[in-house]
Structure 1
Amino acid sequence: MEITKKERDCIVKIKELSGSFPPRLSDLAVGLNIKPPTAIELLERLERKGLIKKEHGMIILTDNGNNEYSKIMLAHRTYETLLSMSGVSTEDACLQAEKIDYLMEPESMRHVLKSLGSPEKCPHGKPIPKE
């Protein structure tokens, strides 16, 4: 499934904000630094794609949304690790990975990961998803 950069950022922010309680529209708008009407439009697109559902004002990633998040994190953390191992600062590697992680295919990322020695964590110490 193809998603846009804004949709990618929204999926990641929903996951980041989902602690003990799922985020609400206002939380997401503040977290993404966008106005609520823009957040509503973004959420409607994600809902049409089957990546989120809204329940009682809360925003929840669906199974497809969680799978998309895992694919993004696989690509992000793999590319971030590659750049970091190549001498790019951890912060810059993260910023660069953010620009393209949603475009990368998981199969390609698994090959890159294997060529890097199959690290289990990114430079920030976060686990690299297996799928």
Structure 2
Amino acid sequence: MDITKKERDCIVVIHDNSKPLPLRLSDVAGLMNIKPPTAHELINRLLSKNIIKKERGMITLTDYGNEIYSEIMMAHRTLEIILTRSGVNSDKACTQVEKVDYLMDTSSIEKLLQTIGNPDKCPHGKPVHAV
């Protein structure tokens, strides 16, 4: 996956905040604490990568976008487990892992998961395999 940190954050914001209704550009800007023109540019980049779709002003993840979200969350939660098992506070681990989770490849994360015993949940109780 070839995305930036801002794109990663936007994918997570869209996924985690689009229920019960999809988000609009102004929602994304507000949730990410960025200006609407910056959000517009970010949305256009994600549209060009087929990660999101925009219909009548409503922004949702594509199937591909949902796959990317799941891969990011699996990496995030796996790395978070490893850090907390090493003695790092779970909230600090979460913050640290956000800096690199989108850079990890799935096969490496799956090997790490096997190494730590295939846990089902992260330290915050969320499923390692997000949907």
Counterpart of 1:7 in structure 2 is: 7
Question: Is 1:45 equivalent to 2:45 in the alignment?
Answer: yes
CA distance in 1, matches of 2:100, 2:27: 25
The letter for the 2-side match of 1:25 is: L
Give how far 1:18 is off: 1.1
Cα RMSD after superposing both structures: 1.1
Give how far 1:90 is off: 0.3
The letter for the 2-side match of 1:125 is: G
Unaligned 5+ runs, structure 1: none
Counterpart of 2:91 in structure 1 is: 91
Runs (4+) of structure 1 exceeding 3 A deviation are none
Question: Is 1:123 equivalent to 2:123 in the alignment?
Answer: yes
The letter for the 2-side match of 1:85 is: R
Give how far 1:16 is off: 1.0
CA distance in 1, matches of 2:105, 2:130: 13
CA distance in 2, matches of 1:34, 1:14: 14
Give how far 1:130 is off: 7.2
How far does the alpha carbon of each residue in 1:46-75 deviate from its partner, in whole angstroms, 9 at most, with x for none? 000000010111101000100000010010
How far does the alpha carbon of each residue in 1:17-67 deviate from its partner, in whole angstroms, 9 at most, with x for none? 111111111111010000000000000000000000101111010001000
Unaligned 5+ runs, structure 2: none
Give how far 1:127 is off: 0.3
SS in 1 for 2:101: helix
The letter for the 1-side match of 2:74 is: L
Alignment: residue pair count: 131
The letter for the 2-side match of 1:115 is: T
CA distance in 2, matches of 1:88, 1:114: 21
TM-score, length of structure 2 as denominator length = 0.97
Counterpart of 2:77 in structure 1 is: 77
TM-score, length of structure 1 as denominator length = 0.97
